Amino acid sequence: MLLLHIDSSADAAADSVSRRLTGRFTRAWRAAHPAGEYRRRDLAADPVPPLTAAYTVLGRRVEREGFVPPSKVPALIATAAEQREWDLTLPLITEVRAAHTLLLGVPMYNFAVPAALKAWIDRVTFPGAFRDPDSGESLLRETRVVALMARGGAYGPGSPREAYDFQTPYLEAYFTNLGVAPGHFHAVAAELTRVDVLPHLAGLEQRAEASRAAAEQAAASLATTD
């Protein structure tokens, strides 16, 4: 059993709500699964490079071959630039394929996900990476995805900015399209995290604290269930 923990906040750990939430999840998961394997990737400290033309050329060549599995991609590499792109990509794909639970720390940046996380998503979404070449079934249908999110304002159901939440629907659409079962995708958000610094949020301190506490409780609960 492997937990793959990915943080994408640009904030230092002491200031990042999403990092605190993933930390809470991780501690609870490791206590509940002492024999489990744990891997962490910090996309702020170790950014994933954006895609180049060589990645797209190699990807199209793989598509023409019928979405071959990663093990057969090296035989299709034609240039040194394509090899560099594949060397950057394969370790990320391998981590995701091996994970039982994928834990994402996701702050809301400009109504959506951080560029650091989007770069990771773009790179791991290589043609055929998560499909069984024989059956065509997704290799991620049993994978659990837990997205622990932080938002400076309020974007939940019934809030004035509910329609501005492009974070949750994007992540859910992305992972279910990859084949993650809808019941295996979990999104938890702590809202109003900037209540202490944004004047227009004054008076919402109790609501912010309740949201944070509920998110922490949900994170710990998800960590101890399979």
The annotated binding site is made up of: 9, 16-18, 108-111
Closest C-alpha to 87, from 73, 99, 67: 73
115 CB-contact burial (10 Å; exposed 0-12 / middle 13-18 / buried 19+) = middle
> Which one, of 36, 70, 56, 162, lies nearest residue 111 by Cα?
162
Contact criterion met (CB below 8 Å) for 76 and 68: yes
- The partner residues of 107 in beta bridges, in order of sequence, read 150
Q: Are 156 and 117 in contact (CB under 8 A)?
A: no
* Residues annotated in a binding site for FMN: 9, 16-18, 108-111
* One-letter identity of residue 15: D
Tell me how far apart the alpha carbons of residues 162 and 142 are, in angstroms, rounded to a whole number.
Answer: 30
